[in-house]
C-alpha cells in the first residue's frame, strides 16, 4: 500500500503535465516569438520610417513622427532602464516613470535626426535570424552617394509584446552608447534621476 501512493502521485503529476501541454498546443494560445514575426515587426517599423523620411515634412514634424514610431515598435521601458544601469534599481516608481518619458523623447529625437540623414534614400530589411534569446533583424540603408550600411534590430517578446530593444547602426550599439552617455549625464547631475530627466527634456 505504501508504494501505491507515490505511484498514483507520479501518474497524477504526469497527467497534469500532459493536460497543460495539450492546452498550450491549442490554437489561440500564446506562442513564442518566431523569426518571421520578428522580421514582420521590423518590416512594419522600416516602412513607417521610410514613409517619414520621404514625406518632405519639416524637421519638427518628422521628429514627432519618429517618436510615435519609437513608442509603437520599441521596448521603451527596457531601453530606458538599461540606459540608467544600476541606478534604475534604486529609483522610485515615480522617478523612473518620469525619467522614462523624458528618455523616450530624447532618444526618439536623437535617432530621428540620424534617420533624417537618410532623406533621398531608404532602408530595406534583408534578413532575420535567432540570436541567443532574441532575434536579430538585418536591414540595409541605401543612401545616395554613399556605400550601403547595416542597421541591425534586436527583437524580443519578453515584455509581453513583440518589440525591438536595441539598434545597431554602422556597428554603433544603441544600448551600450546610451548607457555610457546617460551614465555621464547622471554623474553630472550628482546621481539625481529627476535632475537627469529635467536635463533630457532640454535636449
Residue-wise pLDDT for 115-149, tens only, equals: 999 999 999 999 999 998 999 999 999 998 899 99
Please give the share of the chain, as a percent, with pLDDT higher than 90: 82
CB burial of residue 154 (10 Å; 0-12, 13-18, 19+)? buried
**Structure pTM?**
0.81
- Based on the fold, state whether residues 142 and 68 are members of the same structural domain: yes
- Based on the fold, state whether residues 96 and 155 are members of the same structural domain: yes
CB atoms within 10 A of CB 24: 10
- Based on the fold, state whether residues 142 and 189 are members of the same structural domain: yes
Determine the structural domain holding residue 115 and report its residue range.
35-201
- Based on the fold, state whether residues 39 and 129 are members of the same structural domain: yes
Into how many domains does the chain fold?
2
- Supply the pLDDT for residue 92: 96
pLDDT of 106 over the 50 cut: yes
- Based on the fold, state whether residues 39 and 15 are members of the same structural domain: no
- Based on the fold, state whether residues 52 and 20 are members of the same structural domain: no
- Based on the fold, state whether residues 57 and 119 are members of the same structural domain: yes
Q: Is 115:52 a contact under the CB 8 Å cutoff?
A: yes
Specify which residues 124 forms β-bridges with. 140
- Based on the fold, state whether residues 11 and 94 are members of the same structural domain: no
CATH number for the domain including 91? 3.10.450.710
- Based on the fold, state whether residues 5 and 89 are members of the same structural domain: no
- Based on the fold, state whether residues 24 and 43 are members of the same structural domain: no
- Based on the fold, state whether residues 21 and 111 are members of the same structural domain: no
Please give the angle made by the CA atoms of 32, 38 and 43, to the nearest 5 degrees: 155
Residue-wise pLDDT for 155-177, tens only, equals: 999 999 999 999 999 999 999 99
Residue 6 per-residue DSSP state: H
Amino acid at each position: 500500500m505504501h508504494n501505491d501512493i507515490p505511484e498514483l502521485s507520479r501518474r497524477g503529476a504526469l497527467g497534469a503535465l500532459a493536460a497543460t501541454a495539450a492546452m498550450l498546443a491549442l490554437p489561440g494560445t500564446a506562442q513564442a516569438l518566431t523569426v518571421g514575426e520578428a522580421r514582420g515587426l521590423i518590416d512594419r517599423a522600416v516602412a513607417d520610417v521610410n514613409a517619414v523620411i520621404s514625406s518632405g515634412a519639416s524637421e519638427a514634424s518628422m521628429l514627432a513622427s519618429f517618436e510615435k514610431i519609437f513608442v509603437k515598435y520599441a521596448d521603451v521601458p527596457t531601453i530606458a532602464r538599461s540606459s540608467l544601469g544600476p541606478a534604475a534599481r534604486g529609483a522610485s516608481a515615480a522617478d523612473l516613470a518620469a525619467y522614462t518619458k523624458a528618455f523616450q523623447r530624447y532618444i526618439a529625437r536623437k535617432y530621428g535626426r540620424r534617420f533624417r540623414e537618410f532623406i533621398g534614400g531608404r532602408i530595406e530589411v534583408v534578413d532575420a535570424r535567432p540570436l541567443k534569446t532574441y532575434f536579430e533583424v538585418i536591414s540595409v540603408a541605401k543612401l545616395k552617394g554613399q556605400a550601403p550600411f547595416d542597421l541591425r534590430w534586436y527583437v524580443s517578446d519578453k515584455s509581453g509584446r513583440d518589440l525591438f530593444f536595441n539598434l545597431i547602426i554602422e556597428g554603433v550599439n544603441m544600448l551600450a552608447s546610451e548607457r555610457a552617455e546617460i551614465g555621464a549625464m547622471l554623474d553630472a547631475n550628482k546621481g539625481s534621476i529627476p535632475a537627469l530627466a529635467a536635463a533630457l527634456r532640454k535636449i
